[in-house]
Structure 1
Amino acid sequence: MSGPNDQYDPKQVSALSEESLAATVADALGAFAAASDSASLKAARLAHTGDRSPIALANREIGALPPAARKDAGRRMGAARGQINAALAARAEEIEAAELEEALTREAIDVTLPVALAPQGAIHPITGLMDLMGDVFVAMGWEIAEGPEVEAEWMNFDALNLHPDHPARAETDTLFVEPASAHRVLRTHTSPVQIRALLNRELPVYVVCPGKVFRSDEFDATHVPAFHQIEGLVVDKGITLAHLKGTLDHLAQAMFGDVTTRFRPNYFPFTEPSAEMDLECFVCHGASVGNPDAPCRTCRSEGWIEWGGCGVVNPRVLRAAGVDADVYSGFAFGMGIERTLMFRNNAEDMRDMVEGDVRFSRSLKGESR
């Protein structure tokens, strides 16, 4: 800064002259106008308003003026700085608006397009299939019955004509609930629900019983310790094996379309006579039987696939539930939900059904509601 100038010398403060200030303002306005983005405008701002800018250096020279001249010089300096700051603010606003417009154009989103705001779940295929099978029977006028999963041993075995020494009552097959003196088990089938229906409902009884059951099984591709069954029970006057065959044929067609079925004799303690219901193989339709050149993995070249057990209700079961077996007769059946699901979708590994992967649930046809 120049020293005091009591004898005011215009040459010593030429930067404060009107011409110099006008030139400084013009240079600043030109630099601001030439700036095309925020970065270049920042450089122009530092060059023309910073501590080492011409206008800042000129402002320091005011102290070199005699007192009489400082007021006039200060007025000119204030006007010049005002012009520069106004031009800077205006240009900054223009560049900010232009950059915002460019960003909006570059990042534009078509808000009319559908968008998934959150991952979509799916009903588990086991649940969906149980509902679907239940709907088949509700449409025929049946009722859906439910019962506890921890069941009395008498309900699970004795009432169903399974004597105390039956292999199914061993710990190798059945999961008992401690203490053993309580005689409670995790139900091994939904048949106890049928007994409860006979005990609690007025005859005739037409019920279907879907639910979870438990067995002491290995966890592999075809077995899991906790799985699902659907069982049906009819007790009425004049019920025959023909009613059973017609009911199961209707269920098979609802589940698999135009499919051929057959009854194969078998034995169950709670039905007499008893049968296994088989479905014609969906893959080979029996063509692999006796044909080693075209084996079928699905039915193992047998032509048929086992679906479930059925039969006429044993009179001992009716009497255990207080039903007059001389007046009433009935039929019962049961099949696995997982097995039905595998047949409908050509699934090979039952473990996929318990992994909890939503992609598996979405991939199965007709099981979601």
Structure 2
Amino acid sequence: MSAPNKSYDPVEVEALKPEEVERMRDEAIAAIAAAGDLDALREVKTAHTGDRSPLALANREIGALPPQAKAEAGKRVGQARGAVNQALKKRQEELEAERDARVLVEEAVDVTLPYDRRPAGARHPMTTFADRIADVFVALGYQVVEGPEVEAEWFNFDALNFPPDHPAREMQDTFFVRRDGQAKDEESGVVLRTHTSPSQIRSMIDREPPVYVICPGRVYRTDELDATHTPVFTQVELLAVDEGLTMADLKGTLDHMVQALFGEGMTTRLRPNFFPFTEPSAEMDMVCYVCRGESVGNPDRPCRTCSSEGWIELGGCGMVNPRVLRACGVDTDKYSGFAFGFGIERMLMFRHNIEDMRDIVEGDVRFTLPFGMEI
């Protein structure tokens, strides 16, 4: 930039001539008007209002003018730049309005169109019910544990006090996994677990008492698929090992479970039975959640759910056999425990009056959808 020169004639400064300033102004306004979108307008803005634009360069020449000429030249250039900025602002508003109107048309949503062309999904009731059972016991301080479905025979039978000649250890009841070089399947020592009790054994081995765990999972037995049986089903078992546990603690836990799952007023009863892994053992029944026992001896009010017996069998339970505790390294002089287990499919059938277990396992979406996301 040159220094002020009082003898310099401003008329000879080409960029500051009135007609030249008007030309630069008109070119800028015409370019702004021709901008077809906001991107093009940004390029025009840089070209005609930026530091290297013609009017900006002309404004720099004002400093070289004599004092008496600066005011007029500055006013002339300032008015031109103001007109350009005003045209730029107006054109930007116009283009933004056009863009917003176009977006409203191009991205409009027709709210009258059908919304359900893609059906809503639903969780399988088995999954939801298993989670609900787990929540009941997690709230009591139990831990949810899992174990392998292909299990060593020791965990599945021996540690649970099954004698070598027990019928459950035969191929007609259990799936054996053959190893390479084995002549017979039952010689492999590996089975598809027939219950989730091996997870209880692993829990007692891995943890120091007290132990409070719940073990849900798939189990396998050589049953034919029919209305009440399936070779693959879901079981949940509970184990508690602590000082001073008795059958009273077991009964209270069972009552709490059925009330949490089936409603207030539900109770359980225990009928003597035998299981190798519990002593004493019992079959666990709950009062019929439909008739609440009022159908017993009442021919005027029969109940299909419990066959008018007033009770529904759920599964087996009892105090953990001391032999099982000792097999897991638990001091039986100090600790005792209780356990129970039942099939979740059976509980689900009771809860929702499902008559055929095949409906649960065949994967027909028409069965799952009525349950939605919660049951």
| Counterpart for residue 272 of structure 2 | 265
Q: Indicate if the aligned counterparts of 1:286 and 1:304 stay in contact, CA closer than 8 A.
A: yes
Whole-angstrom CA distance in 1 between matches of 2:304 and 2:117 = 43
Question: 1:255 is matched with which residue: 253, 258, 261?
Answer: 261
SS of the equivalent of 2:135 reads helix
| Counterpart for residue 200 of structure 2 | 194
Whole-angstrom CA distance in 1 between matches of 2:260 and 2:283 = 19
| Counterpart for residue 360 of structure 1 | 367
Whole-angstrom CA distance in 2 between matches of 1:255 and 1:293 = 28
TM-score by length of 2: 0.66
Q: Unaligned 5+ residue runs, structure 1? A: 1-103
Whole-angstrom CA distance in 2 between matches of 1:269 and 1:277 = 16
| Counterpart for residue 330 of structure 2 | 323
The reply to whether residue 174 of structure 1 matches residue 174 of structure 2 is yes
Listed one character per residue, the Cα deviations across residues 269-291 of structure 1 (whole Å, up to 9, x for unaligned) are 11111111111122333333334
- Taking only aligned residues, the RMSD between alpha carbons, in angstroms, comes to 2.1
| Counterpart for residue 21 of structure 1 | none
SS of the equivalent of 1:133 reads helix
The reply to whether residue 158 of structure 1 matches residue 158 of structure 2 is yes
Moved more, 297-306 or 337-346: 297-306
Q: Indicate if the aligned counterparts of 1:187 and 1:214 stay in contact, CA closer than 8 A.
A: yes
Deviation (angstroms), 1:323: 0.7
Matched residue type, 2:340: F
Q: Indicate if the aligned counterparts of 2:162 and 2:277 stay in contact, CA closer than 8 A.
A: yes
Aligned length: 262
Q: Indicate if the aligned counterparts of 2:296 and 2:308 stay in contact, CA closer than 8 A.
A: yes
Q: Indicate if the aligned counterparts of 2:316 and 2:342 stay in contact, CA closer than 8 A.
A: yes
Whole-angstrom CA distance in 1 between matches of 2:315 and 2:306 = 15
| Counterpart for residue 243 of structure 1 | 249
Whole-angstrom CA distance in 2 between matches of 1:367 and 1:280 = 24
Deviation (angstroms), 1:346: 1.1
Moved more, 357-366 or 125-134: 357-366
SS of the equivalent of 2:172 reads coil
Deviation (angstroms), 1:110: 4.3
Whole-angstrom CA distance in 1 between matches of 2:297 and 2:119 = 50
SS of the equivalent of 1:265 reads strand
| Counterpart for residue 340 of structure 1 | 347
Matched residue type, 2:243: K
| Counterpart for residue 55 of structure 1 | none
Whole-angstrom CA distance in 2 between matches of 1:364 and 1:281 = 22
Q: Indicate if the aligned counterparts of 2:123 and 2:372 stay in contact, CA closer than 8 A.
A: no
Matches of residues 269-280 of structure 1 in structure 2 within 5 Å? 269-280=276-287
- Percent of aligned pairs sharing the same letter: 67
Deviation (angstroms), 1:367: 4.2
Matched residue type, 2:141: G
Question: 2:211 is matched with which residue: 194, 201, 205?
Answer: 205
SS of the equivalent of 2:284 reads strand
Compare CA radii of gyration and give the structure with the larger one.
Answer: 1
Moved more, 116-125 or 164-173: 116-125
SS of the equivalent of 2:286 reads strand
Whole-angstrom CA distance in 2 between matches of 1:294 and 1:250 = 28
Q: Indicate if the aligned counterparts of 1:308 and 1:336 stay in contact, CA closer than 8 A.
A: yes
Whole-angstrom CA distance in 2 between matches of 1:211 and 1:239 = 26
Matches of residues 9-20 of structure 1 in structure 2 within 5 Å? none
> Cα–Cα, structure 1 residues 267 and 366, in superposed 2: closer, same or farther, change >3 Å?
farther
| Counterpart for residue 301 of structure 1 | 308
Q: Indicate if the aligned counterparts of 1:345 and 1:364 stay in contact, CA closer than 8 A.
A: no
Deviation (angstroms), 1:292: 4.8
Whole-angstrom CA distance in 1 between matches of 2:246 and 2:141 = 18
| Counterpart for residue 285 of structure 1 | 292
SS of the equivalent of 1:334 reads strand
Question: 1:314 is matched with which residue: 310, 315, 321?
Answer: 321
Deviation (angstroms), 1:124: 1.1
Deviation (angstroms), 1:117: 5.9
| Counterpart for residue 139 of structure 1 | 139
Whole-angstrom CA distance in 1 between matches of 2:276 and 2:129 = 28
| Counterpart for residue 119 of structure 1 | 119
| Counterpart for residue 71 of structure 1 | none
Q: Indicate if the aligned counterparts of 1:280 and 1:303 stay in contact, CA closer than 8 A.
A: yes
| Counterpart for residue 148 of structure 1 | 148
Q: Indicate if the aligned counterparts of 1:345 and 1:365 stay in contact, CA closer than 8 A.
A: no
SS of the equivalent of 1:353 reads helix
Q: Indicate if the aligned counterparts of 1:126 and 1:367 stay in contact, CA closer than 8 A.
A: no
Q: Unaligned 5+ residue runs, structure 2? A: 1-104, 180-184
Whole-angstrom CA distance in 1 between matches of 2:174 and 2:374 = 30
